[in-house]
Amino acid sequence: MLVRSQSEQSVRIAMDNERYIFIVIVGTAFALSMIAIVGFLMIVNTNRRHRYRADLAEADLRREGEVMLAEREATEQTLNEIGRELHDNVGQLLTVAQMGFLDRLENELPSDPRVAAAMGALEQGIDEVRRLGRSLNNDLWQERHLMDALEAEAVRVERLGRARVLLTVEGDPDDPPPAVKVILFRTFQEVLNNALKHSMASTIVITLGGSRLPTLHISDNGQGFDPKTIKNGGGLVNIRRRCALINYEATLETGNGTGCTWKFTPLSDGKA
Least confident of 23-32, 130-139, 170-179: 130-139
* DSSP assignment of 136-187: HHT--TTTS-HHHHHHHHHHHHHHTTS-EEEEEE-S-PPPPPHHHHHHHHHH
The whole-number average pLDDT for the span 87-102 is 61
How many whole angstroms separate alpha carbon 132 and alpha carbon 212? 31
Among residues of the chain, what percentage have pLDDT more than 90? 17
- Give the up-direction half-sphere exposure of residue 118: CA atoms within 13 A in the CB hemisphere: 17
How many whole angstroms separate alpha carbon 139 and alpha carbon 109? 45
Phi first, then psi: give them for residue 110, nearest 5 degrees.
Answer: -60, -30
Least confident of 21-25, 99-103, 128-132, 201-205: 99-103
How many other CB atoms sit within 10 Å of the CB of residue 192?
Answer: 24
Domain ranges of the chain: 145-272
Mean residue pLDDT across the chain = 77
CB distance 226 to 256 below 8 Å: yes
pLDDT band with cut points at 50, 70 and 90 for residue 209 = very high
User: Bridge partners of 208?
Assistant: 169, 216
Protein fold of 145-272? Heat Shock Protein 90 (3.30.565)
pLDDT band with cut points at 50, 70 and 90 for residue 188 = very high
- Residue 177 pLDDT more than 70? yes
CB distance 265 to 248 below 8 Å: yes
The whole-number average pLDDT for the span 137-160 is 76
How many whole angstroms separate alpha carbon 112 and alpha carbon 96? 15
How many other CB atoms sit within 10 Å of the CB of residue 132?
Answer: 19
The larger pLDDT score, comparing residue 126 to residue 250, is at 250
- Residue 210 pLDDT more than 60? yes
| pTM greater than the 0.85 cutoff | no
Rg (CA), the chain: 36
CB distance 254 to 227 below 8 Å: yes
How many whole angstroms separate alpha carbon 186 and alpha carbon 191? 9
The larger pLDDT score, comparing residue 180 to residue 271, is at 180
